[in-house]
């Protein structure tokens, strides 16, 4: 695999009227071209993109962890003085479903969700990018997120079903 053809560099060159729009357009083209590595030199664009990826990752992880907590904790500690299904299960299931819904609405169809920010020096050294004007550019690497999304949707789906069952039980007993 030739990394020169799979790497796109968004250079920080200010020679046109609105360089920020040009940088954003170049990033959008690289994302849509499904380039394996994207090196972002412009600091502002790199920070915004990195933040966007981190927020998506946070939503994903929060969804999975809270969903697992809502499913596992009430079963691990079934005989407790307080009903863990109500105290822990409902809020964590709601959090899981809400994070999955927000991720699905805001990130799922964004081409940026297929990328992760990398700081792996071994991976970065393979890029062999010359003449960078920024000493610490943001580097995005394309990752297959099919299994990650499947896990996150499946766990959230189970948490949602458990939430509905719990609410139904609460409703019927009162």
- Is the pLDDT confidence value at 1 over 50? no
Q: Is 146 exposed, middle or buried (0-12, 13-18, 19+ CB in 10 A)?
A: exposed
Q: Are 12 and 135 in contact (CB under 8 A)?
A: no
Q: Across residues 65-84, what is the average pLDDT?
A: 84
Tell me how crowded residue 30 is: count the other CB atoms within 10 A of its CB: 22
Taking alpha carbons only, the member of 107, 102, 99 closest to residue 53 is: 107
Residue that has been written with the tokens 């071994």 in this structure: 122
pLDDT, tens digit, 9 for 90 and up, residues 8-67: 888 887 777 788 888 899 999 999 999 999 999 888 999 999 999 999 999 999 999 999
- Measured distance CA(44)–CA(145) in Å, rounded: 26
- Measured distance CA(161)–CA(102) in Å, rounded: 18
What predicted TM-score, i.e. pTM, was given to this entire model?
Answer: 0.82
User: Going by DSSP bridges, is the β-strand pair 115-117/37-40 parallel, antiparallel, or unpaired?
Assistant: unpaired
């Amino acid at each position: 695999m030739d990394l020169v053809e799979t790497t796109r560099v968004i250079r920080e060159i200010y020679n046109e009227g609105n360089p920020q729009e040009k940088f954003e357009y170049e990033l959008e083209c690289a994302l849509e071209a499904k380039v394996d590595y994207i090196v972002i030199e412009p600091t502002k664009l790199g920070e915004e993109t990195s933040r966007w990826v981190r927020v998506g990752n946070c939503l994903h992880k929060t969804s999975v962890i809270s969903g697992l907590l809502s499913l596992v904790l009430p079963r691990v500690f079934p005989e407790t003085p307080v009903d863990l299904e109500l105290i822990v299960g409902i809020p964590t299931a709601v959090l899981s479903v809400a994070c999955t819904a927000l991720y699905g609405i805001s990130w799922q169809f964004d081409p940026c969700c297929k990328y992760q920010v990398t700081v792996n020096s071994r991976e970065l050294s393979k890029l062999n990018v010359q003449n960078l004007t920024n000493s610490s550019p943001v580097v995005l690497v394309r990752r297959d997120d099919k299994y990650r999304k499947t896990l996150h949707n499946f766990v959230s789906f189970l948490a949602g079903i458990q939430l509905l069952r719990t609410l139904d039980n609460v409703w019927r007993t009162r």
